[in-house]
Amino acid sequence: MSDSTEELHVDQSKMHITDEIAIQITDMNKWYGEFHVLRDINLTVHRGERIVVCGPSGSGKSTLIRCINRLEEHQKGEIVVEGIELNSDLKNIDKIRAEVGMLFQSFNLFPHLTVLENCTLAPIWVRKTPKNEAEATAMQTLERVKIPEQAHKYPAQLSGGQQQRVAIARCLCMNPRIMLFDEPTSALDPEMIKEVLDVMVDLAEGGMTMLVVTHEMGFARRVANRVMFMDEGQIVEQNEPEEFFHNPQNERTKLFLSQILAH
Amino acid sequence: MKTSVFLGTLAAAGLAAGVAAAGTLADVKAKGFVQCGISTGVAGFAFTTAAGEWDGFDIDICRAVATAVFGDPKAVKFTPTTGKTRFTALASGEIDMLSRNTTWTYSRDVDLKLTFLGVNYYDGQGFMVPTALGVNSATELDGATVCIQTGTTTELNLADFFRANDISYEPVPVETNAEARAKYLAGACDVYTTDASGLAATRSTFENPDDHVILPEIISKEPLGPLVRHGDNEWGDVVRWTLNVLIIAEEKGITAANVGDMAAAPGKDPEINRLLGTEGEYGAMMGLSKDWAAKVIAAIGNYGEVFEKHIGVNTAIGLPRGLNAQWTDGGLIYSPPYR
Amino acid sequence: MSSEPNVAFVASGQIPPSAPPASEVGPIHWLRANLFDGVVNSILTVASIVAIVLLVPPLVDWIFIKGVWNAGSLSGCREVIAAAHGEGVTGACWAVINERFNQLIFGFYPSELYWRPILAFVLMLAALAPVLFSTLPRWMLWFSAAYPIAAYFLIWGGLGLEVVESGQIGGLLLSVIIGVTGIVASLPIGIVLALGRQSSMFFIKTICVVFIEFIRGVPLITLLFVASVLLNYFLPPGTSFDLILRVVIMVTLFASAYMAEVIRGGLAALDKGQYEAADALGLNYWKSTRLIILPQALKVSIPGIVNTFIGLFKDTTLVSVIGLLDPVGLLNPIRATAAWNGILWELYLFVAVLFWIFCFSMSRYSMYLEKKLKTDR
Amino acid sequence: MSVTTEPRQASFRIDMLWTDSRYRSTFLQIIALIAVMLAAFWLVNNVAQNLANLGKDFGFGFMTTPSSYDINQRLIDYTSRSSHSTAAVVGLLNTLLVAVLGCILATFLGVTAGVLRLSKNWIVSRLMTVYIEGVRNVPVLIQILLLSAILDEVLPHPKTAEALLGGFVVPTNRGFYFPIPTFQDGSLYVVLAFIASVIGAIWFGRWATRRQQQTGEHLPVAWIKLGLVAGVTLLTYLVMGLPIGLEYPELKGFNFKGGIYARTSLVALTLALSIYTGAFIAENVRAGIQAVSKGQTEAAFALGLRPSWTMNLIILPQALRVIIPPLISQYLNLTKNSSLALAIGYMDATGTLGGITLNQTGHAFETLMLLMAFYLSISLSISFVMNLYNEQVKLVERTSVAGGGFSVLALFAGVNGKWETLKKGDATMQPNYGVAGWLNLVVLLYGATLVMMLYYLFLDQSEGRDSYYLWGTGKQAITLFLTVFSATAFVTAIFKHYRFIDMAAAELVVFILAVLIGLPFGEMTFGLLDTSVVVFGGLAARLATIGYTVFGARPNVTYFYRVREGSGS
């Protein structure tokens, strides 16, 4: 789709998938009122896996990953994240949210706080880290996403790509085990997409468990170890990238791929 | 009045409550001043000076009570009240007494649970019209426009009077005397009705008082006086006898000027001796000092002096004593004996 | 220029600016464009000029030329005017303002202690500064937080300062006290109400909605009646406190309903993503509200809060109806004084101008804020 | 699988009340409920104790006793022997009178000033700025007092007053006197002719619009309409021999007699309120026009529309949508501010019920409760109208019906729609007309019944009928219960809570029972409205409510939610 991914340097060798289960979803269903958004979802994610979720708009892919940290509540079935079941117990929700980082399409940085404050807020208030320590970590993380010089600016003074990298840094400061990406590049200009994807590749190489909703098929091919296609609330097909792109099985997948790769 | 559903629940909830009747006199002594409810401004009776002090005929009653209790006419704080808020302020304990040209009526006494402690001014409702109208009697006022202060007994008297005489009129309610004065002078109403004292006071401030005439009809009795809450007799006695002391003092010829001499040593008149504390322990009966009355007269003057100072013929208000002369002079001002 | 088919063109230099034609500049053009642009406009212009000519000169004459500043009473004023301009001439008698100025501003506050309310007022401006201007250092907010206590002791005394009774407080001072206390105290209540109104909990939401709609549905004057005649009934028997305090309580409740609506607007202006991001970071409701939601919502609400304050400040004049002596309430005792019997316009005008100065400058400030907010984003 | 996921539906522990989202919200709400109830109990208990201590009783019985005071400005018959409740009604009507007059005048002033402030004419726009900024920033109380004083001083005494505008109005400092029309035989025909010609003019207007759309021809529609109405009416008037005349006021005794007149207090109050509110409306109008005009004007000009058409066809219809919500909230403010009437002795509800009645009877509690209830119901009604309007604007935008002003009737257009449409009032599938229309009707009926009940209970003074306060306790209780029930159902419907089937059903049972035993609605009559109308109207309203809940449609009544960006009161 976009050619910015062609230049991504990916070192597959650094990515390890372990046997430990990070996310286990069993027979999960969700409704918006009368509307059945997610139907019988079953998914097991091992630690270190990088899963790309794609599908037409309204297929429920965003809803799926939002269910994983309880931004949306599922009504039936079971979600276990890092051994903790997501149910009505608020303490469990708090624990899971501390372990799971999430990136949004529209960044959702806090505009009234500086970049550094954005990054230290959650460590200080949720993890109760001392301020100095939190700031030191934040500066390290900002260096990792390559914008330490912006630490004292406000989000509005940054470009879109920089903002999204700050958002990633904000997640990383919490030292999460799993990261969820909800179309992280679709609000960005083409020249900024790459700088965000670079950071994501870096994360993947570091062994992060990642669930990515995206239309960046290049990223999916090079980074993901599994691509998942969703339509009308159900997982239609999932496979390794090579197989998925070159040998799709389901008709709806074929149709979707033909449309999205036609350009 | 029939019991309503509301009342049932309210009364049931209220049964448990006991009546907390603390003595106001004790309270007043404890806090060190008298909280006195007054009007928000009536010429001669209550007004503010440029120095920011309240002054006037009603105000001096408050000061007299403060002197009686504390020996200090300044140990008083004033709460301006409107026609609407005055009784509530008294009933709720916000003020200790009310001295605000309030007419003593049956329903106020009985239904509103207030105790009137005497009369410091006998008034009656009258009418003022421009001389140019050529009206000689209130019964000729058919169809006239009448300015009237709301929130007082005057509007009830007015309605009754015109109804009884079967003539029509057009009431123009106004909030304050100052508004009424402006409206009347501008000709927005033909007649101004209020207590005769108020009429005279208002007329005196006109540029040409002679262009206006006060009609002979006095359509109501308006005994004005200080009042306190029901059921607090010690405090009521203090206020009542403070007023009476002023009256007796005038009757006996005790003035602010000569009270010092007269209180120095017992004189020939035993009542004066009792009053000024040179004989007996009369102050102690009320929980006051022996010479409380002497202090009151020294600080405030006697009734006649107060009258002349604020509203008498030599002031801008220029009211003659009339009904408010001592009984010895054919008036109604009369105090029970100090014995 | 040229009709030749060759369209290639290179500018040989910058054309220097020249003066516009005469019809585009000058007073004549201005008149034509702004005053006499068409028949209707010309008629409007003439009518306006006639109105101004009829109204303004007599007013200026009455207020300034024939106005008297020094006299002991209304009749004194009349004598001065008669002496200067002849019999039957009318003019403003500003002497009453001259004499009663301090009373209209401070009520019966002891004159030797005027410095205290003045100091309190100046300190108030200083305390407000860090709230209103975000460029100032944050530590100044501690001063703002401590200000109410300082102001209380400055105005009412205590802590070694001479005590001043509530009954002595009046005039503009009273209006400012009621208005400022009302708005400041209503802020936290308004925040809670606004959050409650956004709550998903039906019952809590209902309580907030009923409270807000009730308060906004009745005129302030009925609430003031409640303060003056009913509030004591709602408290345990024997409790009775100061009328000013009761009025402040009622005014606070009144303002908090309006404040809640202003803040609700601020909350609604917030992007939903902010809530989600805070959730995703693991902040709980109170932390995300305190750290993320309120700082942003309040900033957006400041112009609305200033407007609410203007409205409230103007509404403080209603306390005159229940016998408090604010500038309007003081008019009556002043007019009841023998010397000033019959004075009318001067007092009204003075009070009107007094309020106008305050409210107009505040409304300008709120406009400036709104503009700044628009460009800030 | 390394993790076994035993579904831990652990037994209930006490800390789950605040750590489990299933229980937490209920738990918090119950705590809030208990707190509110405790507070309410504490307040009521204090009130009861205080009243008992003062020896006062609580009740509305005093409302039926003679008021003993006179009121000059009254729209219904009233003397000093009438009851306090009649005096209250006189006051309420006076409030409504000043509110309606004030709103009309304020709109006129505000729209004029708002448009003129945008005028290119320098002097006019400056004058309007002076008016708006001068008036907005001065407390309305001072303006009322000032204007009242000006009218008193400036206007002539009746003795020297002169008729203006050909005798049409006589301004005096007592009031403004107008002639009153007198109707003789045959005047009915004139009135009928007038109505007929107005209908004809409307029909002609529609015909002309159609014709213009088909043929593109412009007719001077306004002139023809005017000619039609004036011509026909005038002709009938002449033919019938001038049956309608005017009775002019004349100076008799102290004052003018005859005609109708408006007291100066009414005039001063109306003027002051509308000048004050007009300044706010002017700002709203200006903001509305500016919000629309920039790009839209250019677009319209680019299409070749003339400036006047641009204003009428493009700017105003769009600007109105921006202007009307704040406009209505200004109406609300004006109505609330009318309570300042007591400062100049205009006898509105605050002057009678909250003024003299409170003063003379000392029943502060009861009078203030009634007074607040009155203002509250006006406010809620005004927001109701505003929300109806907003709903319709939303509908119009959703169904992309171009232009189109607001009409109350359109809200009920869906009432005759197909049942399927009504049942499936889903915004995404169908325009919500049906359900909205029906539900408006239901809420209106609820409201009407409630108003009638309240009127019947507390205000109706007709002959031969016991006042509520004199009934037996049982009858009082049943009636009150019914009213409260009706009110709660009404409030529930207002506040969007659509699952009120149980409440509505229970109410229905009680209502039927009440009708069966003849209490108390058996004796209800309201002028033309017969008892049956009320009873069956109430029944229909309740049935419809139940029907909606049963059939799954969602009575999404958002109308009462205020969308006000109010600026002060």
d(CA A37, CA A232): 7
Q: Judge whether B337 lies within some domain.
A: no
pLDDT at C262: 93
How does the average pLDDT of chain D come out, rounded?
A: 73
Cβ A38 vs Cβ A77: under 8 Å: no
Task: Classify residue D295 as exposed, middle or buried by CB count within 10 Å of its CB (0-12, 13-18, 19+).
Answer: exposed
Smallest Cβ distance to C283: which of A108, A112, A126? A126
Q: Do residues B228 and B131 both lie within one domain?
A: no
Same domain? B164 vs B83: no
Nearest CA in chain B to C73: B50
Which ranges of D338-407 does DSSP label H, i.e. alpha helix? 349-351, 358-361, 364-398
Q: Residue A245 contacts by C-beta under 8 Å, 6 or more apart in sequence?
A: A217, A220, A221, A227, A257, A261
Residue D429 banded pLDDT, cuts 50, 70, 90: very low
Same domain assignment for residues B72 and B91: yes
Please give the structure tokens belonging to residue D292: 């629309």
pLDDT for the residue D468: 65
Quick one: tokens of C32?
């034509």
**What pLDDT does B5 receive?**
36
What is the gyration radius of the CA atoms in chain B, in angstroms?
A: 22
Running DSSP on this structure, what letter comes out for residue C68? B
- ipTM of the complex model: 0.83
Q: Mean of the per-residue pLDDT values for chain B?
A: 84
Query: Which residues from chain C sit within 8 angstroms of residue A94, using beta carbons?
Result: 282, 284
**Which tokens go with B333?**
């001002």
Closest of C17, C19, C56, C49 to residue C31, by C-alpha: C49
Which residues have C-beta within 8 Å of that of residue C226, sequence separation ≥ 6? C250, D368
Q: How many C-beta atoms lie closer than 10 Å to residue D282's C-beta?
A: 27
Q: How far is D141 from chain C (nearest CA, A)?
A: 7
Claim to verify: residue B11 and residue B104 sit in the same structural domain: yes
Does the structure show a pLDDT above 50 at D406? no
CB-based contact (8 Å) between C113 and chain B? no
Q: Do C221 and D138 touch (CB under 8 A)?
A: no
Statement to judge: residues B1 and B102 lie in one domain: yes
Residue B300 within a domain? yes
* Distance between first and last Cα of chain C: 48
B9, B17, B142 member nearest D253 (Cβ) = B142
Give the helix/strand (H/E) hosting A31: strand A21-32
pLDDT band at D445 (very low <50, low <70, confident <90, very high): low
Percent of chain D surpassing pLDDT 70: 65
Whether the predicted pLDDT of D408 surpasses 60: no
Distance CA B9, CA D480 (A): 14
Q: Which band of pLDDT confidence, cut at 50, 70 and 90, is reported for residue D6?
A: very low
Q: Which of B48-62, B277-291, D172-186 has the lowest mean pLDDT?
A: D172-186
Q: Which is more confidently placed, D274 or B180?
A: D274
Tokens 């009243």 belong to D51
**B207/B245 same-domain check:** no
- The residue that leads in pLDDT, D36 or C137, is D36
- Region B59-83: what's the mean pLDDT? 90
Whether residue B216 sits in one domain with residue B197: yes
pLDDT attached to residue D336: 93
B85 belongs to a structural domain: yes
Q: How far is residue D199 from each of residues B322, D130, D228, D229, measured CA to CA in Å?
A: 73, 43, 10, 9
Q: Which of B205, B220, B235 is the last residue of a domain?
A: B220
pLDDT > 70: percent of chain C: 96
Cα–Cα dist B28/C74, whole Å? 40
pLDDT-based confidence at residue D559 (cuts at 50, 70, 90)? very low
Above 60 in pLDDT, residue D440? no
Name the domain boundary from B220, B254, B271. B220
Which residues lie below 8 Å from residue C331, measured CB to CB, with a gap of 6+?
Answer: B178, C320, C347, C348, C351
Nearest CB neighbour to B14, from listed D52, D254, D342: D52
Inter-helix orientation angle C171-198/C327-336, to 10°: 150
Looking at residue D433, its pLDDT comes to 41
- How many Å from the N-terminal Cα to the C-terminal Cα in chain B? 43
CATH numbers and ranges of domains, chain C: 25-85 (no CATH), 164-373 (1.10.3720.10)
B116 and B155 fall within a common domain: no
Residues of A in contact with D3 (CB under 8 A): 21, 24, 80, 83
Reported as a single tens digit per residue, the pLDDT across A209-226 is 999 998 888 888 888 889
User: Which of A104, A125, A126 comes nearest C277 by C-beta?
Assistant: A104
Structural domain range at position B24: 1-123+222-332
Tokens 């960006």 identify what position?
D565
pLDDT-based confidence at D144, cuts 50/70/90?
Answer: very high
Report helix, strand or coil for D445: helix
Q: Are residues B286 and B200 in the same domain?
A: no
The number of residues in chain B equals 339
Structural domain count of chain B: 2
Pairing relation of β-strands D175-178 and D260-263?
antiparallel
Which of D145, D144, D135 lies closest to D276 in space, CA to CA? D135
SS3 A230: strand
Q: Quick one: pLDDT at residue A2?
A: 46
What is the per-residue pLDDT for D417?
41
For the ranges B62-76, C195-209, D409-423, the maximum mean pLDDT occurs at B62-76
Q: Would you state the pLDDT for residue D444?
A: 65
Is residue D365 less than 8 Å (CB to CB) from chain C?
yes
From residue A64, alpha-carbon distances to A45, A52, D479 in Å are 13, 12, 55
Give the model's pLDDT for residue B323.
87
Q: Is residue B338 part of a domain?
A: no
Decide if A33 touches D, using CB distance below 8 A. no
Residue B10 lies in a domain: yes
User: D278 is written with which tokens?
Assistant: 């007009």
Q: How many Å apart are CA C273 and CA B108, to the nearest integer?
A: 65
**Within this chain, do residues B116 and B20 fall inside the same structural domain, yes or no?**
yes
pLDDT at B74 over 50: yes
Residue range B225-249, pLDDT digits in tens: 999 988 888 899 999 999 999 999 9
- D positions 39-78 inside 8 Å of C (CB): 43, 46-47, 49-51, 53
Band (pLDDT 50/70/90 cuts) for residue D337 is very high
pLDDT tens digits along C54-65: 989 988 988 888
pLDDT over 70 at D462, yes or no:
no
Q: Sign (positive/negative) of CA torsion C315, C319, C322, C326?
A: negative
* Domain assignment present for B276: yes
CA angle D495, D500, D506 (to 5 degrees): 130
pLDDT tens by residue, D114-130: 988 888 788 888 999 99
CATH number at residue B154: 3.40.190.10
pLDDT at C317 over 90: yes
State residue C69's pLDDT score. Answer: 86
Domain stop point among B190, B220, B250:
B220
Which residues in chain B have their CB less than 8 angstroms from residue C229's CB? 84-85, 88
Is residue D569 over pLDDT 50? Answer: no
Residue D355 predicted with pLDDT over 50: yes
Q: What confidence score (pLDDT) does residue D528 get?
A: 40
Subunits adjacent to chain B (3 or more Cβ pairs under 8 Å)? C, D
HEC sequence for D146-202: HHHHHHHHHCCCHHHCCCECCCCEEECCCEEEECEEEECCCHHHHHHHHHHHHHHHH
Architecture of domain D84-159+261-393: Orthogonal Bundle (1.10)
D565 touches chain C (CB under 8 A): yes
Sheet holding B169-174, edge to edge: B169-174, B144-149, B191-195, B125-130, B212-214
> Which amino acid, residue C131?
V
Task: Report how far Cα C130 is from the mean position of its chain's Cα atoms.
Answer: 19
Q: How far apart are CA C155 and CA C174, in angstroms?
A: 11
More confident of the two residues D496 and D387: D387
Write down the pLDDT at residue D496.
42
Interface residues from chain A to C (CB-CB < 8 Å): 69-71, 94, 97-98, 100-102, 104, 106-112, 121-122, 125-126, 156, 170-171, 174
D411 secondary structure, DSSP code: H
Residue D137 pLDDT:
93
- Say whether residue D28 is in contact with chain A using an 8 A CB cutoff: no
Q: Which residue has the higher pLDDT, D346 or D244?
A: D346
C-beta neighbour count of D18 within 10 angstroms: 12
Beta bridge partners of B174: B149
CB pairs A-C closer than 8 Å: 57
Contact D360, B160 (CB under 8 A): no
Specify if B151 maps to a domain.
yes
Residue D270: pLDDT band with limits 50, 70, 90: very high
What does the pLDDT read at residue B7? Answer: 35
- CB contact (8 A) between residue D253 and residue B143: yes
Q: What are the pLDDT digits (tens) for A6-22?
A: 567 777 777 778 888 88
Banded pLDDT at A133 (limits 50, 70, 90): very high
Q: What mean pLDDT comes out for the span C140-157? A: 87
Give yes or no for a cis peptide into D520 (omega within 30° of 0).
Answer: yes
Average pLDDT estimate for B135-139: 87
Distance CA A3, CA A6 (A): 5
One domain, residues B233 and B316: yes
- Mark yes or no for CB contact C48/D124 under 8 Å: yes
More confident call, B150 vs D1: B150
Cβ(D66)–Cβ(D82) under 8 Å?
A: yes
What residues form DSSP beta bridges with A230?
A235
Query: Does the pLDDT value for residue C188 go beyond 90?
Result: yes
Mean pLDDT to the nearest integer, B151-170: 86
